[in-house]
Amino acid sequence: MIAPPNLEIAVLVLGMMLLMFEAFADKIDKRVFAFAGILGLLTVLIGTFYLAPVPPIDQPTGFWSFYTADPLSIFFKRFALVTTILVIIMMIDYAPSVRGAIAGATQQAGLGEFFALPVLTCAGLMYLVSAIDFIMIFVSLELVTISFYVLVSFTRKNPLSLEAGVKYLVLSALATAFLVYGITWIFGVTGETNLDRITAILARPNIDQTAMTFGAVLVLVALGFKIAAVPFQIWVPDVYQGAPTPVTAFLSVGSKAAGFVVLLRVLRPFLMLPKMDRLLVIVAILTLLYGNLAALPQSNLKRLLAYSSIAHAGYLLIGVACFDGPAVTFYLVAYLLMTLLSFAVLIVVAQPAGERIADFDGLAKRSPFLAFAMLIGMISLAGVPFTIGFFGKFFIFNAAIAHHQTALVVVGAITVACGFYYYLKVVRAMYWRPAVKGDNIPVSGLSRVVMSALIIAIIWFGIYPQPILDALKR
């Protein structure tokens, strides 16, 4: 039996050890660190299934007023671990591109940090999903963001990556400023930073609601930046396109999921404020429309996936606006599987060919397996039944109809149809365009296994979702 906080400590120690050993070992193959990281994270993942039960505390004090180990947080700790493991596996495939883009003394300079930093990000994500206090939210969010600053601009010889890094740094810092400022306002009104106690105080009649709403909106701005909601999505396409592809995948899954968990947590106090639900509906509609419409003309697949990530934030926001936590969580799991599958294929194909959709022309002839994997990823993102993406949309729209959110449902119907166009554009390129370059694209054994596992998971849970629903309840 393991006490829940030990999980994060284990991950932090793992990350630091990797960094430290990396500094002293320049002779060995740096991929050893990747495998060590994967093994370590796997151990922690297994550990999450043997947690000591946390005694229920009525009035949480000390550490437990910052940190919770409720089912939601345990679920998302596993989510963060799985994401990080998959991202590190992608990084192994991506390593050759990193080598070329770093000026270093030795052949493998920099690779060790590239493999070790995601472990630290993972620790931040795990803290973040457990945070029930604004101070804790702020600190763990910074741990996540700062490691992303380094990762986004990691391939520093590549000007696009540098540009992405600067954009991410500046805008992220701005979002942080909004967050802190919002927290101060909330603290000023309520005198508390713990979410439960804030909720309790908000129930009292003599609260300054204007000031509290101001603070809440500032916090929502910061979270909107994290989850790429309109109008805070401007950074997404450039940063996603410029960052090393595994980092893009990590940003679009890990960072977004963490943002949504925090959003769900702060929603309970915030929804006690007037007009907050309407604000969420408007943001959801704008996000849906912007993400899907702007994705239509994209010709670069990585950029397309960036806009698709905004679009999916829109669907998730429908669930948030209807305050349906399980639907949002299920959608995030679906999003994790299908997005990571698409990015995994993109990394393998992009190295010899390129990132444009045109570079995928005739892929079905050249590498049928990769084309099929991409096909499954794309139709799941579009929401075709018998894939997990469909169940995600099903639960979200079920919630929307139950809450009589007609506007959201109508806009959602239009954007789903748009989605079919831009996701199937990739399918069209792979299956009925003539091949430009004739070579078979090599896939490493590990990636092949991971991709197959993701394909099977997408279809399996698309037919039989009950295991995920059970995991959510526990």
Q: How many Cα atoms sit within 13 Å of 346 on the Cβ side?
A: 28
Instruction: Please tell me whether residue 199 binds another protein under the rule CB under 8 A.
Output: no
* Core vs surface per residue 86-115: b (16+ CB within 10 A) or e: bbbbbbbbbbebbbeebeeeeebebbbbbb
Which C-beta is closer to another protein: that of 2 or that of 424?
424
Residues between 170 and 189 that touch another protein (CB under 8 A): none
Q: Which is nearer to another protein, 289 or 416 (CB)?
A: 416
User: Does position 469 bind another protein by CB under 8 A?
Assistant: yes
Sign of CA dihedral 289, 291, 292, 295: positive
Q: Is 13 or 469 the residue whose CB approaches another protein more closely?
A: 469
Sequence-separated (6 or more) residues with CB below 8 Å from residue 410: none
Cβ-based nearer residue to another protein, 345 or 408? 408
* Whole-angstrom distance, CA of residue 85 vs CA of residue 444: 16
Tell me how far apart the alpha carbons of residues 299 and 178 are, in angstroms, rounded to a whole number.
34
> Nearer Cβ to another protein, position 156 or 404?
404
Residue 398, burial from CB neighbour count under 10 angstroms (0-12, 13-18, 19+): middle
Among residues 71, 421, 440, 456, which is the contact residue for another protein, using CB under 8 A?
A: 421
Candidates 394, 448, 460, 471: give the one binding another protein (CB under 8 A).
394
Find the binding residues for another protein in span 423-462 (CB under 8 A).
424, 427-428, 431-432
Q: Which stretch binds another protein (CB under 8 A): 183-191, 209-217, 242-250, 406-414?
A: 406-414
Indicate the residue among 244 and 462 with the shorter CB distance to another protein: 462
Q: 386 — alpha (psi -120 to 50), left (phi > 0) or beta? A: left
Give the nearer residue to another protein in terms of CB position, either 40 or 389. Answer: 389
**Phi and psi, residue 297, nearest 5°:** -85, 5
Alpha-carbon torsion, ordered 252, 253, 257, 259, to 10 deg: -20
The half-sphere exposure of 307 on its side-chain side, counting CA atoms within 13 A, is 20
Residue 323 binds another protein, judged by CB under 8 A: no
Tell whether residue 407 is a contact of another protein (CB under 8 A): no
Q: Is residue 465 part of the contact set for another protein (CB under 8 A)?
A: yes
> What are the residues binding another protein (CB under 8 A)?
364-365, 375, 379, 382, 384-386, 390, 394, 397-398, 401-402, 409, 413-414, 416-417, 420-421, 424, 427-428, 431-432, 463-466, 469
